[in-house]
Structure 1
Amino acid sequence: MRISTVTMFDQSVASMNRQQSDFLKVGQQIASGRRVVNPSDDPQAASRAVGVSQAKAVTQQFADARVSARNSLAQGESVLNSVSDGITSAKTLLVQAASDTLSDVDRQSVASELRGIYESLIGQANATDGNGRYLFGGYKDDSPPFARTTGVGISGANYVGDESIREQRIDASRLMPVADNGKTIFQSVPSGAGYVARAEKESAGNISIGTQSGYVRNEGSVTFTGPSRVDPDNAHFGKPFELEFATNVDGDPIFSVSAIEADGTRTPIVTDEAYESGKSVSFGGVSITLEGTPVDGDQLQLRPANHEDANQDVFKSLKDAIDLLELDQEGADENRAHFRNTINTVMRELDNSLDNVLTVRASMGARLNELDVVDAVSTNRMTNYEKTLSDLVDLDYSEAIAEYSLRQVGLQAAQKAFVDVKGLSLFNYL
């Protein structure tokens, strides 16, 4: 069979082009470090690699979200640490103010220190993060969550923020709260906080430290200690109680206790029991110690700390204490009783507020620990993705270098063959 010169040239050039193409392909693989440079190199591996790369990108996005969540939680936890220190300092000052050795001037000095703590807590409650968002305002960022109110004594504070809890997705299956709202922190108490009692006095020289449900009359000199929980299984435990003093036919003091039902009706549980100063009395699963001399018609209210009519606002508790310490407490026994009762109530409320702040802070700490766990899982996941992606598209350098040498020899052989074929012409012998 005769082969034309053109055919030999075409086959030689095609062979060199093919060898050169294979040689360049191996060179590109070595230069890029990837076995699959183009999808056509291995369509199946390229397709799987796209899916793995997308999974890596999503995992990285969640990692970035956890950084943001950790910053928010760390800032919130730091602020709550300062808040708990402030409440603890306020309690210490109230213990100091309750001493009988202090004069009105001394108590007013304590009130000035409490005012500083109050202002500091307001500032902490309206703290912002590094992006200008309020830490405890929920999703409302256009104004401080706690707004000043006017009233007797120092101004109060109302929560005007969003009652939602800001959340952030930190993983495909986890939506984490990253900032608690101010109402949950500063105007709530933990469950199971027990009872809080209030007995208040109203006269020309004093203001009534108000309750959520109205005025409680207490014109005598009765003081209380407690209340404390004695029987949580009692049928009336968990209901508000109202204790009222009266006198019997002999003029001796007696008292009655009613449980306030959800519809506002009163169920008598103690009726016309003789009152004895310094004696502890129990009713409805709680116990309270009463001292002093009551006046006919005086009242005492006991409510669960988390009841809707009980004060759960740490700012109101501090405001009540400051207003009280700035009043004239010297003089009649009833003035001193009013002072001690209010201090007792405020101390119990501050205890509950501190417990609530510490509970929220512990929750933030638990969420920070959870972020560490999720980070560790995410790191392992990213490692697996990297390994899978490497198995799919990365280059085996030892195999590639051997292939590179082979393709180089093949290209050289094709070039040498072309040179030899080109020389096969009869004209070279004429």
Structure 2
Amino acid sequence: MRISTAQMFHQNINSVTNKQSQTSQIIEQLSTGKRVNTAGDDPVASAGIGNLNQQNAVVDQFLKNIDYATNRLSVSESKLGSATTITSSVREQLLRAVNGTLSDTDRQTVADELRGSLEELMTIANSKDESGNYLFGGFNTGNQPFEFDASGNAVYNGDSGVRESVIASGTTVGANIPGDLAFMNAPNGLGDYSVNYLAGQSGEFSVESAKVTDSAAHVADTYTFTMVGANLEVKDSSNTLVTTVPAFDPNNPVSFNGIEVKLDGKPASGDSFTMEHKPEASLLDTINSAIALIEDPNKVNTPAGKSELAQMLNNIDSGMNQLDVARGVAGNSLKSLDSYAATHEEEKIVNNSALSMLEDLDYAEAITQLEQQQQALSAASSVFTKVGTVSLFDYI
């Protein structure tokens, strides 16, 4: 078979070029530490590497979401713990204030302490995160969530929104605690109704509970209870008689319109109190009302004042329980976040191990191949040089 000079040159150039390309590829692998730098290096391994990198990117995003939620919930849980401590102190201060031996000045001192505690609670309720967003505003993180209006009532300017963080495929965790859950919507300590005791009360009694027992028959209204002789009369807001309990015995509950009311003690003849449908109680409002009660020397040690205090203490206990509920929500979420974070870290370890098997370079093998390729390139170049100088005219 005859070989033309052009064909001989072409074959030798291809040989040298291929050796140079293979040598360059090994040098690139040594510089990157990766066996697969392009899809052409190993198409099958490259596809697997792409899938694993994509999985790691998703896991990294989950971990970022977990870090965000963990930071916010950790701060919220800590703030709620502080709020519980303050509320417990408020309860102790309130019990101290009703000591009959205290002077008006002493009670005012207690009231001032309670006002300071209330301000601390308001500061906690209006806490911000590191970005300047309000922790307890729900979705409304840009506006101060809590304030007192002109009438002295606590107002919540936030909402009940819970910002969900995606922490795994198909799994979300709330990254915040709405302020109404923590500070506003505690169950009424009496049940479903709040009681207003009148200043003229002379009997030693208080409402122990006022609950809706039959929602179908329940008629929400403001009811007035009046002791008429030995009988207890109940009227609605239109002054219509609802029921009369003859020879009232406080050991037996009063039932009407799907409501059951239990009294601790017996009203004196002429005593009256009203009852308003209010299934939830605000911790902030309760403390504010307690301060007003303590600062009123004409009421704090009266039968009505003592009855009102008993209701306030029930609502404060309920408020503390509500803080514990909100804190428990944060704690359970943090526990879940820790569990998912550990799972994702383990997944990354497995993925990285698989990536290492697919793409990491065996340096000893690569160096050996480089030396072989360099020798082959040198040989091919030498042969090409010698063959390229051969001419038929040299032998004529």
Please say whether Structure 1 and Structure 2 have the same fold, judged by a TM-score greater than 0.5.
yes
Matches for 1:176-187 after TM superposition, within 5 Å: 176-187=173-184
Relative to the length of structure 1, the TM-score reads 0.79
Any conservation in 2 of the 1:196–1:349 contact (CA below 8 Å)?
A: no
Distance of 2:286 and 2:143 partners within structure 1: 24
- Structure 1 residues 118 and 107: alpha-carbon distance in aligned structure 2, compared to 1, 3 A threshold: same
Structure 2 match to 1:87: 87
Offset, 1:43: 2.8
Aligned residue for 1:273, secondary structure, equals: coil
Farther off after superposition, 61-70 or 3-12? 3-12
Matches for 1:24-423 after TM superposition, within 5 Å: 24-151=24-151, 155-189=152-186, 194=191, 198-202=195-199, 219-224=200-205, 227=208, 244-247=225-228, 252-256=229-233, 268=243, 271-275=245-249, 280-283=251-254, 287-291=262-266, 293-295=268-270, 298-299=272-273, 301=275, 309-329=278-298, 336-422=302-388
- Structure 1 residues 246 and 265: alpha-carbon distance in aligned structure 2, compared to 1, 3 A threshold: closer
Aligned residue for 2:225, secondary structure, equals: strand
Per-residue CA deviations over 1:108-146 (Å, capped at 9, x if unaligned) read 221111111111111111111111111111121332111
Any conservation in 1 of the 2:139–2:163 contact (CA below 8 Å)?
A: yes
Offset, 1:222: 2.5
The percent identity for this pair of structures is 29
Distance of 2:334 and 2:67 partners within structure 1: 11
Per-residue CA deviations over 1:291-326 (Å, capped at 9, x if unaligned) read 563415x1353x7xxx6x245111211111111111
Offset, 1:256: 4.9
Any conservation in 1 of the 2:100–2:301 contact (CA below 8 Å)?
A: no
Unaligned ranges ≥5, structure 2: none
- Structure 1 residues 377 and 237: alpha-carbon distance in aligned structure 2, compared to 1, 3 A threshold: farther
User: How many positions carry a matched residue from both structures?
Assistant: 391
Distance of 1:230 and 1:158 partners within structure 2: 26
Aligned residue for 1:299, secondary structure, equals: strand
Distance of 2:133 and 2:140 partners within structure 1: 8
- CA-based RMSD of the aligned residues comes to 3.4
- Structure 1 residues 229 and 338: alpha-carbon distance in aligned structure 2, compared to 1, 3 A threshold: closer
Offset, 1:429: 7.3
Structure 2 match to 1:209: none
Relative to the length of structure 2, the TM-score reads 0.85
Distance of 1:229 and 1:384 partners within structure 2: 59
